Each structure stands twice: as C-alpha cells, then as structure tokens.
Chain A
C-alpha cells in the first residue's frame, strides 16, 4: 500500500498543533483547535439506559457535559481508570450550536507540531478504528500517529441516544 501525501488546503508551511494521547496502547493525535481543556479523571455520574459509549456526565464548573468513552467508541473495551486517565473536553459544532463533550482517554502525551508534509492519507484498512474517524497519519520517527477527525469521532448526530434503548445488552457492561 503506497501512502501518498494528501492535499492540504492551507499552504504547506502551515503547521498544525496536535495533542497526542493514548487509547488502549495506541497513540492518537487530535487538532488542538477543537480542544478546550484537559482535566483529571473524576468520578462521573452514570446515566442509566444509554449505550456504553456514554460513560456518564460531568459537572464542569456548573455545566453538565456528557463524557464519551473513546475505548468503547473505537470498538474496544470499556476504559479501566488509572491514575493517568484523563478527560479531554472538546467543542463540537452541530448546526448552530456548540456542544461541549468530554472524551475519556488513557493517557495524555504531549502537544506536537505536525507539518503538512508529514501527513499521509489514512490506510484503507488496518487501523484498528473506523476509517472515517481518521483525518490522516502523521509520520514520526518511530512510526505513525493516527490523527483523529474530531467531528466524526464525537459526531453529535451519531452519538445522540435515540428513543428508548431497547437492545442495550452489551458485552463488557457490568
């Protein structure tokens, strides 16, 4: 599979900053523009009768925001919380509204500058997550970092809990 540089809308010198973090041992990157803040894991309020990808809700300085478990979202298991577990608070645009959500991740690494020419197109398959979640691959010394497409990973329309949950028997819950 030959990876070819993908077209970047802005000029080549444009270097974007990405927050890198670990989910289930894999390193992911996300454009920091969509990220509001990173907070330590704190106990969440469970929301009953919703799918497992919603880990719960969080009181963020008086605002109640839902927290998405990225492990579950990426077809993996439910996150076991450790000392390093973090919640990345992001802003997603949906129609005219800006919606805040938290993403539960295993560990935060660093903010990396990634140049346009370091970007590669996502592989058609082989990355353990849904292809449309991937914005691109960033070439690094040690290998690739999967850059995530925020709007797809936490897509409001896709994550909205529909009606009454009937088939909510999931493996791995309880």
Chain B
C-alpha cells in the first residue's frame, strides 16, 4: 500500500519556489548590507528545504542543502569569513537548488539523483561548498574559542557552559523511544524503513528491540506490529529532523525524543537570538530546536484535558450546591488548575527548566512589542476570479434593481437601494483589492537579472528601484514580467555603454538603470529608464526602411520614428539590435502590454538615455465609468479620464474643431458626427473634458448621465483590433453600452481625418468581403 504523496509534493514544490525566492532576496540584501539577519533567513530556508526534501527522499537535494547549511552555519557563527567569493558561491548554490527543483517532476517520480550528480554546475558548487567547509573547519577551532569567550560574559552562563562542555564530548546523542502501534504494518509502513532512514541522519550507536508486547501465538495477528525500539542516535541534525522521519506515522507510534544534554546552552542562546515573530512559548521552544511542534501540541492537549476535568468538577460542585459560593470555591480548590504549559513541558521531561525560563523571558519581551509581520493567505486565483465575476453580475443586477426602484417613486425603497448600492460598491472595491499586489516583488526579482547580465557583459550598472509599493492587478503583474525582462535586457545590453565608453563621454563609469512605478490618473505607470546612449531616430529610420517596415520616414517626427521599433518585423534580425541599440522583440513587448489594455511609449535622448514608459489600467474587471448619451446611444468612458464637463455655445458641424476653454485651446471631437449618428446639433453643447496621457481633449456629447459602476465585458474577437473600443458593459436596463478608450478614440479620429483628406488607403480590407464598397 502506497500513500499518495502527490498533493504533499505539490505543496512542497509550491512552497519551495517561494522559499527560493525569499532566499534570493535575502542574499541580495546580504550582499548589499551585510546584515547578519539575512544569513539567518537564508539558513532557515535551506533548513526547511532540507527537512522537507528528506521527507520525499530527495537524497541529492538533502545532501546538497546539508553542505550548504553547514557553510551558512559557519558563516553566521563567524567561523568562516564572509567574502565576496563566498557570496558568489551562495548564489551559485541557489541556482543549483533551483535547477534541482526543476528536475522534480510534478508526480515526484522523475527526480533523478544521478541527474543532479551529473550536473556540472551542481557538482562544482557542491565541491566548492565542501571545500569551504573544510577550510572553515581549520579556522573554526580558533574562532570558536574566541567567539565563545567574547559572547558569554554573564557568570551563570560561563558556569553553565563549563558544565555543559564536559558532556559535549559525548557528542550529540539523542535518545529516541519508539512505540509502534499494532496498526503500523496495516497502514503499509515498514518499521525497518524508519530505522534505516534514521541511520542516514547520523549514526545509530545503540538499538534495543522491545518485544514485550508480542502476544501469544493464538492472538497474534500476522499483520500486526508489536515491536518497540529504544535507539541512541548520534547526529548533527536537529530534533525536528528526527521527528520528520516519523512524519507519516505519527498517529501510529508513540515517539519520545530526548534531546542530547550537550546543546542545552545552545538552546538558551538560540532563544535569546530568536527573531521576534511569534510570542507563543511553544513556538519559541520549537524554533530553538529544544522541542518540536508535536510535543507542544501533546502538552497542550494534556493541559486542555486538565482544564476540562477542572471544569467538570467545578461545574458539578456548583450544580449540587445550587450556587452556594463557598462550597463551590472549595470544590474548585480541590480540582487543581491545570499546569501551565511551561511547567507541563518540564514535568513531561521534554525540556530542562533553564530553557523554559529563557523562553518565558523572550515571550514577555515579545508581548510588549506586538509582532507586525503580516499574515497572508494563499488563495487559488480562479476562486478570486469567480468571486469577481459574481460581483460583476451583482453590480449589473443592482443597477437594474435601482432603475426599477426609481421607477416606483417609492421613497423608502429608493433610500434602501442607495445604501445597498453603496455597500455593493465597497464590496466591489474590497474584492478587487484582493487581486492587487505590490509590484515590489516583481521588481526585486530583477536585481538578480541585472546582476547576472552585468557580470556577463562586464559592465557596472546600478539598479534603482522606486515605487515598490505601487499596487496592480495580480494577473497583470504576471504578464508584465516577460516584457519587463525584455526591456531590462535591452537596456543593459544595448542601452548602457561599457565603462570605457562612458568615461570617454564624460559620464559616470557606473551606469544606472531605474525601475519606477507610480499611479497616474487611474492607471499605473511603469518606467524602465537607463542613462545609456539613447536611441538614434536616424538609425531607426534607416533600418525601418531597409526592413521594409515603412516606405519612407520623410515627414515623420522623431517620436513617430521611435515608435517604429515596436513594429513587427523590425527587430527579428540580429544586426538591427547591434546597430540601433534596441529592438529585441519589442513588438512582442508592445503586444503583451496592449493585450492588457495598456500602452508603451519611448522617450530617448541621444547620449542621455532612454525611458520606456508602460501605462496600464489599474484593473481589468470593473471600473468606475462615466455614462453619457449621444443621440439615443449610451457610451461609457473611464471616470478617471474625465476632468470636467462644460457647456458651450453651438459648435460648427464638423468632426473636430477647437474651443476656447478658459483661455486654453481645447481640441474637441464631435462624437455624433464621428459615429455618424442621427440628430441635429444642439443650441448649447455639452463637452466632457478628458485627459489621455499628458494631453487633454473634449468630447462633444448630448447629455452627461453621471457615474456608473462599469463591469467590463470582454470584447468579441471581432473588435479586438479596434483600439478605440475598450470593451462593453451592460446597463441597468439590460442594454449594452460601449466603453470608449479615450486615447484610442482620438487616434482613430485623427487617422480618419488624415486619410479622408489624402488619398484613400491602398488596401481596402472590406472591399473583397462583399457588402461594403468604397
């Protein structure tokens, strides 16, 4: 019988990728700041991976992390100097770990230890790591002496240290008592397997098989397990590691692990050093390695049972005496209060009193300064999407209900509806926020990318990250990482010059690449900025002509030429990138961004640098819209883009014109004319002033209808090419309204006017399809 480990394995893989990410971040931080905390964190990660890896029998992984752990341990105890080479080695080991996790298949079967051993990268890293360990060991003797003397100054501690050091020579000997239950074999477990596995952790110096429980032959069930063991294990592993061995059978055995006497002082020290994250005594002890979570749980259980018994007795007493206080109190005295957790642990002989004392002190300290670490919850994205879909339906139906309510003219009903709408709005916002994540994590990932690329290119480049706290939709963050990597690679590879070139140009030898994110009128802007050589429009133009992207660049503005780097087909050939400095897959970048309803802009000055600006909508599902009517049609524009509504005197009957808005020139688009809708021009026209990017324009409409919570319904494939249409939505009446994309609409208007003034476009896409003729 096999236990299906797949779900456990999946969550292990999932967790590990997070852990590795954390490790990478800490490592970067350590490289920068040299803070000791980071090493602790890295150690924790390595330790966790080792522990869990062992559970799944990933021997290669365990062996590797074990060595890594030793190095880290030496580093944090100061036995081994933290040099640049050492950090490099840690990075290399991190990559190895990543590699190993790639080898682990989802079904867990294809994890090939040989594969890893064969892997040159892993091999060399492991060798290098081991070498450091050996080198470190030589120094360790010296370092240890000085370190311990320096660290320990309080008299009791010195005394304790001395007392302990004698025992320490006996080595780290654990005593493990195992009582298997009868069911073990029926569960498909083999007791021998655990013993064998224990042997891998260290050396089993003593083992005694207890056979008292074996019943008479008549009663003996051949499938039952009647053995028990007493084992002495010499190991460097922590207690949790040993307990992990029995993880799967914890229900079927009674396990008691007696910690070796030796490291008690270590426990005390560890408790002192514990990072303040959790104020439970139990947890403190667990983290110190003195006890394991299971023991705490067992203690708590017995404590609880005590409480229960206590209540029962107390309750009975009260019941009998009918509320006579004195009597009841007596009864309560008789039933002793349950022992405190700390006491319970001592009584249980699991930890020594000194350790509990220390832990209690730390606990007190922690209670004062409340832990501020944010708790987070993992949720499958589909669940959130489903919820947001439902909220969308709720919003639409609410609009409908509100419409009906207002038709009844029932005052109370309308008021109640208003409150309801307000609540729904809050639910909607709250729900959408669930999907929002800070972009910092994505940005920080590039620290590594930049570091590696720079190393490869031999350039020195500083990465500056700003606006990490800027939040945007999780879905978008995921889709952003590819385009961003592209842009960063480009900037590093082609944008920023080599050190010599930079010095020759009078720039600082170290280049700067900055990633910046900020909110701007309802959208998120992400900038990738370098101080490199910039993009030469002339070179771009020439290349574009050569590649047949455009026929001629005559009359094109520099900014327009710059946009050509996003044209498909521009960047496929390699020599282009070498010459132009940019363009690897820029069309892909643009397409990815546009798929998210965002836009990309390039801004570049030769020899000063380039900025690539990505503007993204805040969310993809529900927006605050502004409803307006043109003829009998209703349109929606994002409320964030609306600046104001003004009324002006009658306008000319043209698609575009300009008006004087408080002495400012404001170009306006006559929607009715543009959309070829019926209806006469009004005596006074309503204009919605909108902003798009950094520019302003006016839309001439018939009537503004106010705010509207707009659930964006995806566009049909048929309209996917229309950039002036942002989507559609359903109004309270059930009618469909089209959401206009302001920037796209204005672009569309301009190209429409341009082409109608010049000759018609050469290929009429519709002529061949029948139905429309020019």
Contact = CB atoms under 8 A, between A and B. Distances in A.
B771 interface: yes
A62 to B, nearest CB: 6
A171 B773 contact: yes
Contact of A57 (B716, B720, B722, B770): B716
Given A163-B721, A168-B772, A170-B771, A64 B736 contact: yes
Interface stretch (A2-10, A17-25, A46-54, A107-115): A46-54
A164 B764 CA distance: 11
A170 B773 contact: yes
Interface in A114-143: 130
A51 B722 contact: no
B621 to A, nearest CB: 14
Given A45-B738, A62-B393, A97 B717 contact: yes
A82 interface: no
Interface stretch (B293-301, B302-310, B515-523, B671-679): B671-679
B719 interface: yes
A64 B728 contact: yes
B774 A167 contact: yes
B716 A99 contact: yes
A73 B718 contact: no
A47 B740 CA distance: 11
B755 interface: yes
Interface in A43-72: 44-54, 57-59, 62-66, 72
Nearest to A160: B718
A94 interface: yes
Interface in A132-167: 156, 158-167
A59 B765 contact: no
Nearest to B745: A49
Nearest to B748: A164
Contacts of A13: none
B736 A66 contact: no
Contact of A72 (B718, B756, B771): B771
A53 B728 CA distance: 19
Interface in B722-762: 722-725, 728, 730, 734-738, 747-748, 751-752, 755-756, 760-761
A59 B771 contact: no
A58 B737 CA distance: 10
From A44, A53, A75, A171, residue with most partner B Cβ within 10 Å = A53
Given A47-B719, A66-B716, A166-B760, A57 B674 contact: no
Interface string B117-160: 00000000000000000000000000000000000000000000
Contact of B752 (A99, A130, A164): A164
A47 B760 CA distance: 23
Contacts of B751: 164, 166
A105 interface: no
Contacts of A99: 716-718
B657 interface: no
A73 B715 CA distance: 21
Contacts of B68: none
A99 B717 CA distance: 7
Nearest to A53: B771
Interface in A70-113: 72-75, 94, 97, 99-101
A53 B717 CA distance: 15
Contact of B675 (A49, A100, A156): A49
A169 interface: yes
Contacts of B774: 167, 169
Contacts of A158: 769
Contacts of B760: 166-167
B229 to A, nearest CB: 58
A72 B736 CA distance: 22
B234 interface: no
A11 interface: no
Given A48-B674, A166-B751, A170-B772, A59 B718 contact: no
A163 B755 CA distance: 13
A101 B716 contact: yes
B581 to A, nearest CB: 29
A170 B678 CA distance: 16
Contacts of B675: 48-49
B718 A167 contact: no
Nearest to B727: A64
B633 interface: yes
A53 B239 CA distance: 74
B257 interface: no
B74 to A, nearest CB: 53
Given A45-B633, A45-B735, A59-B730, A156 B761 contact: no
A169 to B, nearest CB: 7
A46 B632 CA distance: 10
B206 interface: no
B479 to A, nearest CB: 18
A167 B764 contact: yes
B345 to A, nearest CB: 59
B396 interface: yes
B591 interface: no
A49 B725 CA distance: 10
Contacts of B764: 167
A162 B738 CA distance: 18
A48 B735 contact: no
Contacts of B678: 174
Contact of A75 (B674, B716, B766, B770): B770
Contact of B748 (A47, A49, A57): A49
A63 B678 CA distance: 28
A49 B674 contact: yes
Contacts of A52: 771-772
Nearest to A170: B772
Given A54-B718, A59-B730, A59-B735, A46 B633 contact: yes
Given A166-B756, A167-B766, A75 B719 contact: no
B47 interface: no
A156 B715 CA distance: 13
A100 B738 CA distance: 18
Contacts of B451: none
B633 A160 contact: no
A101 B718 CA distance: 10
A173 B773 CA distance: 12
B445 interface: no
Given A156-B718, A160-B720, 18 more contacts: A45-B738, A48-B674, A48-B676, A49-B748, A62-B713, A64-B713, A64-B716, A66-B718, A73-B771, A74-B770, A75-B771, A99-B716, A161-B722, A162-B765, A164-B724, A167-B761, A167-B766, A168-B772
Nearest first, the 8 closest Cβ-Cβ pairs linking A and B are A48-B675, A45-B736, A167-B774, A75-B770, A64-B713, A166-B755, A64-B728, A72-B771
20 contacts: A47-B725, A48-B676, A51-B772, A53-B769, A53-B771, A63-B713, A64-B714, A64-B728, A99-B716, A99-B717, A160-B719, A162-B721, A163-B765, A164-B747, A164-B751, A166-B756, A166-B761, A167-B764, A169-B774, A174-B678
Interface of B: 393, 396, 633, 674-678, 713-725, 728, 730, 734-738, 747-748, 751-752, 755-756, 760-761, 764-767, 769-774
